[in-house]
């Protein structure tokens, strides 16, 4: 019974942590709804006045972006902002032929009167953070706009964001990501679904109540003095954006989130690219939890509620570890449930935590209907998308849990960029992308084994107990089977 007791304790703890996280999401939903009733009366720069128009530097940190560099530079060159108040820095750490093609395109843009500089480093010290920091040393702008290589801001983007800096306490203005290839595949649809929830529910829900949010690494603007006051960019975590965001807010800088300003971008279309992005985000989140936890707890400038939301924010990625624990232990729990009749009341109590899924379902539906409408057809489509998303998210739980554990235990790793594709429609092909990994990791093999493990879980539903089976966990095991099967087979077939 000792082993069974240990399994029950670990399983129950993970369920409780998921439930507390769900409650926090519900609180963010209430915040979000309340925020819709507020009007923005904050002071703004009048950009029609030359005197009030500040100097802006756009930083473009890039590394081996063969497929999207031309598109990126052509797009940024169209930015509608006074040329005498705009500087563009191409922070190019590339090691392939894009160095030369980018240099040629930059020369053409210079000839058009654009103030654009090609800054190349001889090493990648600090990776993206190091490039941003080096560019900042010579940046002329009072404000620093940052775009990753796969982002395509609208022409009036600076005119939509810069005016908010009239409030001298604002250190960052962040915009919402949009997705130019949302409907390319099931993979892009579920990525868009997850990101939409973050950029509506979470960012608005936190920001509207003064809780900490994060600059998302791109599609935002920093006040230069805020970056320096917060300690500048540091490359000791894989999510330098989250790190600097927390250091700035701990110094009482305000962040402004603009839900209505969209910045289009391309989602990864191949699962290996999505894996590298997920690994970096989740490991970086855990690294920042280690780095920032004590600073958040000891801060005298923020409320207890802001501290709670901040800690849960930093623990976002750790939820994958809790999901994986619950998933793996759910099959032993099925057998324990049917072997020890005296634990019946415990299992009745544990069934209450299905409400966590219901909370997520309600929160995400509110975000979904705001975008697509509140019709019966949309609700049916939402149900299918929600369970597809949840299944595949659980399928990523092993991969993301490894990233989280590495982050919590301090294992260092290089910043691995996400390959870009320049793919907008189903007709476009990612085949032959030179940046894709060609090997299969051991993680993929384990994901295949877990797929079979959860198939056994479904089989177990038919054979346990004396009453013709126990199907309470069957839907859960089915979703896990589908999720791990999707990730496993897509990883096998998505090699270059």
Pick from 53-62, 473-482, 487-496: least confident: 487-496
Q: How many CA atoms lie within 13 A of 233 on its CB side?
A: 24
Q: With a cut of 70, say whether residue 468 has pLDDT above it.
A: no
Tell me, what's the pLDDT at 433?
A: 67
Tell me, what's the pLDDT at 430?
A: 54
CB-count burial class (<10 Å; 0-12, 13-18, 19+) for 32: buried
> What are the residues facing 175 on neighbouring strands?
258
CB 345 within 8 A of CB 8: no
Q: With a cut of 90, say whether residue 1 has pLDDT above it.
A: no
Only one residue has tokens 């324990």, namely 336
Only one residue has tokens 């929600």, namely 386
429 — pLDDT class (breaks 50, 70, 90): low
Q: What are phi and psi of 91, to 5 degrees?
A: -90, 90
Tell me, what's the pLDDT at 196?
A: 95
Tell me, what's the pLDDT at 495?
A: 52
Q: With a cut of 70, say whether residue 424 has pLDDT above it.
A: no
Mean pLDDT of all residues in 59-83? 95
Over residues 72-124, the pLDDT tens digits come to 999 999 999 999 999 999 999 999 999 999 999 999 999 999 999 999 998 88
- pTM score of the predicted model: 0.94
Q: Which residues of 366-401 are buried (b: 16+ CB within 10 A; e: fewer)?
A: bbbeeeeeeeeeeeeebeebbbbbbbbbbbbbbbbb
Over residues 284-294, the pLDDT tens digits come to 999 999 999 99
Q: With a cut of 50, say whether residue 486 has pLDDT above it.
A: yes
Q: How many CA atoms lie within 13 A of 60 on its CB side?
A: 29
Pick from 140-154, 207-221, 364-378, 445-459: least confident: 364-378
268 — pLDDT class (breaks 50, 70, 90): very high
Tell me, what's the pLDDT at 18?
A: 95
* Non-local CB neighbours of 346 within 8 Å, separated by 6+ positions: 8
Q: With a cut of 80, say whether residue 437 has pLDDT above it.
A: no
Q: With a cut of 80, say whether residue 431 has pLDDT above it.
A: no
430 vs 170, higher pLDDT = 170
Mean pLDDT of all residues in 390-411? 97
* Non-local CB neighbours of 158 within 8 Å, separated by 6+ positions: 56, 79, 80, 81, 86, 145, 221
Provide the CA 422 distance to its chain's centre, in angstroms: 20
CB 418 within 8 A of CB 268: yes
Q: Which residues carry out catalysis?
A: 93, 241
As a whole number of angstroms, the distance between CA 407 and CA 320 comes to 13
Q: With a cut of 60, say whether residue 428 has pLDDT above it.
A: no
Residue 143 in 3-state DSSP? strand
Q: What percent of the chain has pLDDT over 70?
A: 95
CB 235 within 8 A of CB 125: yes
Tell me, what's the pLDDT at 364?
A: 97
Q: Which residues of 140-154 are buried (b: 16+ CB within 10 A; e: fewer)?
A: ebebbbbbbbbbbbb
Q: With a cut of 70, say whether residue 178 has pLDDT above it.
A: yes
Over residues 305-341, the pLDDT tens digits come to 999 999 999 999 999 999 999 999 999 999 998 888 7
| Token pair for 404 | 């989280």
Over residues 29-57, the pLDDT tens digits come to 999 999 998 888 788 888 887 788 999 99
Q: With a cut of 90, say whether residue 432 has pLDDT above it.
A: no
Q: With a cut of 70, say whether residue 445 has pLDDT above it.
A: yes
* Non-local CB neighbours of 363 within 8 Å, separated by 6+ positions: 25, 26, 28, 29, 197, 201
Tell me, what's the pLDDT at 21?
A: 95
As a whole number of angstroms, the distance between CA 396 and CA 403 comes to 11
Question: Mean pLDDT in the chain?
Answer: 93
Over residues 87-100, the pLDDT tens digits come to 999 999 999 999 99
Tell me, what's the pLDDT at 98?
A: 92
Q: What percent of the chain has pLDDT over 90?
A: 80
Provide the CA 342 distance to its chain's centre, in angstroms: 43
496 — pLDDT class (breaks 50, 70, 90): very low
Q: With a cut of 60, say whether residue 423 has pLDDT above it.
A: yes
């Amino acid at each position: 019974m000792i082993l069974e007791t240990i399994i029950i304790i670990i399983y129950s703890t993970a369920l409780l942590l998921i439930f507390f996280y769900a409650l926090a999401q519900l609180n963010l939903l209430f915040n979000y709804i309340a925020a819709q009733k507020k009007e923005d009366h904050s002071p703004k720069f009048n950009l029609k006045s030359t005197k009030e128009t500040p100097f802006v530097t756009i930083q473009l940190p890039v590394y081996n972006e063969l497929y999207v560099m031309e598109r990126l530079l052509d797009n940024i060159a169209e930015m509608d902002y006074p040329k005498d108040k705009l500087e563009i820095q191409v922070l190019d750490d590339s090691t392939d032929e894009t160095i030369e093609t980018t240099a040629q395109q930059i020369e053409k843009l210079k000839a058009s009167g654009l103030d654009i500089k090609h800054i190349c480093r001889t090493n990648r010290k600090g990776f993206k953070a190091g490039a941003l920091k080096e560019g900042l040393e010579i940046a002329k702008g009072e404000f620093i706009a940052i775009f990753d290589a796969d982002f395509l801001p609208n022409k009036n983007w600076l005119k939509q964001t810069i005016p908010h800096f009239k409030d001298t306490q604002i250190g960052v203005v962040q915009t919402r990501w949009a997705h130019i290839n949302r409907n390319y595949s099931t993979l892009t649809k579920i990525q868009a679904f997850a990101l939409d929830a973050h950029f509506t529910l979470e960012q608005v829900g936190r920001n509207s109540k003064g809780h900490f949010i994060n600059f998302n690494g791109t599609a935002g603007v920093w006040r230069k003095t805020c970056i320096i006051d917060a300690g500048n960019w540091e490359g000791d975590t894989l999510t330098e954006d989250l790190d600097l965001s927390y250091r700035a807010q701990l110094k009482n800088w305000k962040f402004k989130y603009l839900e209505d300003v969209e910045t289009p971008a391309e989602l990864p279309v191949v699962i290996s690219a999505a894996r590298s992005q997920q690994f970096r985000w989740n490991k970086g989140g855990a690294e920042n939890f280690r780095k920032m936890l004590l600073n958040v707890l000891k801060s005298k400038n923020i409320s207890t509620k802001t501290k709670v939301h901040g800690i849960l924010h930093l623990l976002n990625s750790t939820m994958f570890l809790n999901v994986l624990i619950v998933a793996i232990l759910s099959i032993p729990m099925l057998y324990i449930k049917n072997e020890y009749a005296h634990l019946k009341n415990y299992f009745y109590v544990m069934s209450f935590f299905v409400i966590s899924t219901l909370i997520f379902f309600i929160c995400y539906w509110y975000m979904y209907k705001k975008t697509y409408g509140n019709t019966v057809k949309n609700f049916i489509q939402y149900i299918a998308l929600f369970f597809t998303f949840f299944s595949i998210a659980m399928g990523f739980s092993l991969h993301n849990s490894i990233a989280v554990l590495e982050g919590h235990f301090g294992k260092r790793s290089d910043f691995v960029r996400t390959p870009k594709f320049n793919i907008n429609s189903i007709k476009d092909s990612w085949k032959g992308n030179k940046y894709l990994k060609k090997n299969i990791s051991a993680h993929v093999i384990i994901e295949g084994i877990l797929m079979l493990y959860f198939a056994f879980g479904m089989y177990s539903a038919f054979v346990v107990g004396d009453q013709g089976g126990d199907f309470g966990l069957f839907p859960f095991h089915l979703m896990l089977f589908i999720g791990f099967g999707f990730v496993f087979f897509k990883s096998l077939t998505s090699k270059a």
